[in-house]
Amino acid sequence: MKPVTRALIFALALLLTACGLARQPSMDAQGADSFEDDVRSARTLTESFWKQQFDQLGRTYRPIADFIPYSGSSGPSCGDEPSVPNNAFYCPLGHFIAYDQNWMESLWDGMGDGSVYLIIPHEFGHAVQAQLQTGFELNVQMELQADCYAGGTLSALVSSGTLRAEAGDENELFTSLAAAGDPTDDWLNPAAHGTAEQRQTSFLTGYRNGVGAC
């Protein structure tokens, strides 16, 4: 592990500790431990957070039209693009979010429930970008902002007491980001999402400073 990554994990650990962590293995707001409960909580709490943010801006948040689990390649298409295995995505054409349930549950099993509270707020970040009509020159800019939005969302939920962070959650979150990072810093790649360190840094920016810093 590179020193900068250790520093980022340590910084997030301090932030979570400052919010008052409970000493249990779950990041679940309702105390439930199942994958389905974590997915439901992540969706509900994230949308509630963004509705409040839009209300504060004098705007109306439009809830997603659907939240679709699928398996392998059986998911919904987005325009001419079919769904693919091991993925989660926001489709602006139908204003919906879809996710490979088996894949996300395998991450939940292997990395912990923090992965769910990263992936789902990230995809809602794209839904927010669509509603705000945010423009980007490069795909990686859009993806890193969604990571930042995810960090800001999680920070707000934890600091308000709506969501309870637990010991070890910081490692789960950063492991999930590292696993999803690009192998090289190729910003011009139309599919680029950012390297592990770039994604971790963007998430931490949102967590430390809120969604307004994204």
- Pairing status of strand 88-91 against strand 66-70: unpaired
Q: Any idea what DSSP says for residue 162?
A: S
The predicted pLDDT at position 190 comes to 66
Average pLDDT for residues 64-76, to the nearest whole number?
Answer: 95
Contact 62, 95 (CB under 8 A): yes
> Residue 205 pLDDT more than 80?
yes
Cross-strand bridge partners of residue 91: 96
pLDDT tens profile 76-132: 999 999 999 998 999 999 999 999 999 999 988 887 788 888 899 999 999 999 999
For residue 185, pLDDT beyond 80: no
* Rounded CA separation 186/179 (Å): 17
Q: Distance between CA atoms of 21 and 189, rounded to whole angstroms?
A: 39
Cα 156 to Cα 208: distance, rounded to the nearest angstrom: 10
Does residue 163 or residue 146 have the better pLDDT? 146
